[in-house]
A and B are shown apart, each in its own frame.
Chain A
């Protein structure tokens, strides 16, 4: 992977370069308190872009999978029916996307563009998406109490699937190219060649940051095994079900959740649009069929479903990653403390107790 060095004062010039090349650039900003968000960069707000800030709860996933997206426009009249797909193909860059969310988008790629059918709406939004990953290095600003990418192996520094990765070394940033498009930027004079000392510095910072995560015992491997083998105890699922308030928050903040519902709405006389909307497996109506039969009624069945879908070995193999990126958002928004990190720990502990691995003493 090719890398260059860039002065701290020049880092936001990358945003300018991308805008000059015709990209609509989204970047992170801070609001009041913990509130942070991605927004399109304009001449007015460009100076307020934050390089270090708590990761926005609303994941940048929405740039490839909008919460509401129009699929079709349908006009009817005179016995005719005109069905017109409405794909958008923006040229967009996300500046300051965190490593966990880079992994999230790669996961979505595997899901929406893999297997038998490719999703054309996702594909068009993804085709011209340029990702500028900023590595979380500031233990106070970047790392939240809930962050646990070290457990999910997605961070703090993404290894691939970005176009450009920036890492704060103090007075300078190290820029690594993850794609030919990213490497092309290195022709710009703001990028300078580095020295082995820069790489050494990078290594030292990452080692330090890795040690500063507060959530660091959410060990997935045991839980993946228990879930895959259906060894998780029924009482554990029931406890998770009892704690779940069925708000659906975990799914709406998740960078790897993919489910959607489809709805038609009238937009004028004889004119209808069909949209898809993020949906949540936490909600009881998710599996309810016409006529009222619901094969998945109990809350704990639905929780079981979510964690199985995210962690079972079968799906990991199919999508080349777990459907958890360790961003910790679900932990942050969950009122019942059944976010991913807690659930992974809970399953590991409660299931391990019943294991008969100890040799008999007599």
Chain B
């Protein structure tokens, strides 16, 4: 047995909440930093697609996607209020302290995708885990060929990260297509499920040398996969990030184990080929 005491993998480090920004209804973005500057610097080396464990002491700990790109200055989480932990997170005020440990998991291998086309397809809050690699790709767009974002929400009011969407739409070399299930609020854009964007006049989804990132609710996921495969995408060129109930984030608690994979250490990023083999609902 190793005589060296191992680093305590379950020990969260103290984080300080800087400010809170409202996003869509029930979703807020929490900007924070570690109390310890060294920890902050270490954490900032995360990859797009990795996640962190967030502790609200007395309530519990939960896994949260890392929506910022490592190239951005601030660290933040975007959290929808669904359970007890996220509700406690929503009650935090600037200056409050909580716990964070991570980053964990395997992210998107953005270097491997160099010189490829990147197609991002997101539905609803599925944009949260994809935001990191979209921002990263947009900032490094000379490393990639075409960058396309297809994003859909139920209503115009439920389109997340409005400022980012506007920026991507303005950036040359980046296509950003939006759609909603139900129009209203003076929406003049496309109406329909996110897959229907692929067939719009003027839209050409690259298939050769292309990686498709898909994230969204289970129903959306199934239909987008079908549409992408109809376009000619191979299963191994479609990537996503899985969400599972997790208690530890380091491959020990067993909750996220599906098929041969522990989502926390072997994922959360998987190709559709791998997901298909794991044999469980998305």
* Number of A positions contacting B (CB below 8 A): 56
Let me know if B1 is at the binding interface, CB within 8 A: yes
A288 interface contact, C-beta 8 A:
yes
Check B58–A272 contact: CB distance below 8 A: yes
**Contacting pair A262 B254 (CB below 8 A):** no
**Contacts A127-B1, A264-B58; A83 near B255 (Cβ below 8 A):** no
B189 at the interface (CB under 8 A from A): no
Structural contact, A85 and B57, CB atoms closer than 8 A: no
* Closest beta carbon of chain A to B174's beta carbon, Å: 32
Q: Closest A residue to B9 by CB, please name it.
A: A117
Residues 105 to 143 of chain B near chain A (Cβ within 8 Å): none
Q: Report which of B2, B7, B57, B265 forms a contact with A272, defined as CB distance below 8 A.
A: B57
Asked whether A126 lies within 8 Å of B62 as measured between CB atoms, the reply is no
B contact face: mostly helix, strand, loop, or mixed: loop
Q: Are B11 and A72 in contact (CB under 8 A)?
A: yes
**Which residues from 78 to 103 on chain B have a C-beta closer than 8 Å to any C-beta of chain A?**
82-86, 95, 97-99
CA–CA, A171 and B11, complex, Å: 52
Given the complex of chains A and B, what is the CA–CA distance between A83 and B98 in angstroms? 10
Query: Is the beta-carbon distance between B61 and A262 smaller than 8 angstroms?
Result: yes
Please state if A85 and B245 are interface contacts (CB–CB under 8 Å). no
- Chain B hits for A315, CB < 8 A: 260
A9 contacts partner chain B, Cβ-Cβ < 8 Å: no
Contact B1 A123 (CB under 8 A): yes
Supposing A258-B254, A262-B61 touch, asked if A120 and B280 sit within 8 A by C-beta, the answer is no
Smallest CB-CB separation from A281: which chain B residue? Answer: B254
Tell me whether A286 is interfacial, beta carbon within 8 Å.
yes
Interface core residue of A79, A85, A113, A118 (most chain B CB under 10 Å): A118
Is A266 positioned at the interface, with any CB of B under 8 Å from its CB? yes
A71 at the interface (CB under 8 A from B): yes
Q: Which residues of A contact B86 (CB under 8 A)?
A: 290
Judge whether B257 and A85 touch: CB under 8 Å.
no
Q: 3 smallest A-B Cβ distances: which pairs?
A: A290-B83, A259-B254, A118-B6
Q: Could you list 20 A-B pairs, sorted by A, with CB under 8 Å?
A: A76-B97, A80-B97, A81-B99, A83-B14, A111-B252, A116-B251, A117-B250, A117-B252, A119-B6, A119-B9, A120-B9, A121-B10, A123-B5, A126-B1, A261-B247, A274-B57, A286-B245, A288-B245, A290-B83, A301-B280
